[in-house]
Amino acid sequence: MLVLSRKKNEALIIKGTDGDIRILIIDENKGKIRLGIEAPKGYLILREELLSEIEKSNRMAAVTDIQNVKRLFSKNE
């Protein structure tokens, strides 16, 4: 993991073969920072906690689907 210190209006660049990602420190206030992120099309940028919720929801949907399939087959026997 790379750990950096940045001030307001400073940025960092992540170089990539499909284009660069630029992360800019927009503001800092009371221990919170606001980031601006510029990335090429095709990159999905999500907050980590949102991604965790999506994954949890997908797992729950898969379990429900499996239960429905089992019920369907048990009715046919």
Same domain, 10 and 39: yes
| 27 and 53 housed in the same domain | no
61 and 33 in a common domain: no
Q: What is the pLDDT of residue 14?
A: 96
Compare 35 and 60 and report the one with higher pLDDT.
Answer: 35
Same domain flag for 60 and 27: no
Answer with the residue of higher pLDDT: 74 or 27.
Answer: 27
pLDDT confidence of 13, banded at 50, 70, 90? very high
Same-domain pairing of 35 and 54: no
49: pLDDT confidence band, cut at 50, 70 and 90? Answer: confident
Q: 2 and 32 in one domain?
A: yes
Q: Where on the phi/psi map is residue 31: left (φ > 0), alpha (ψ -120 to 50), or beta?
A: left
| Structural domain containing residue 10 | 1-44
Token couple for 12? 């960092």
With the C-alpha atoms ordered 21, 26, 28, 34, is the resulting torsion angle positive or negative?
negative
**Number of independent structural domains in the chain:** 2
pTM of the predicted model, to two decimals?
0.64
The pLDDT assigned to 55 comes to 81
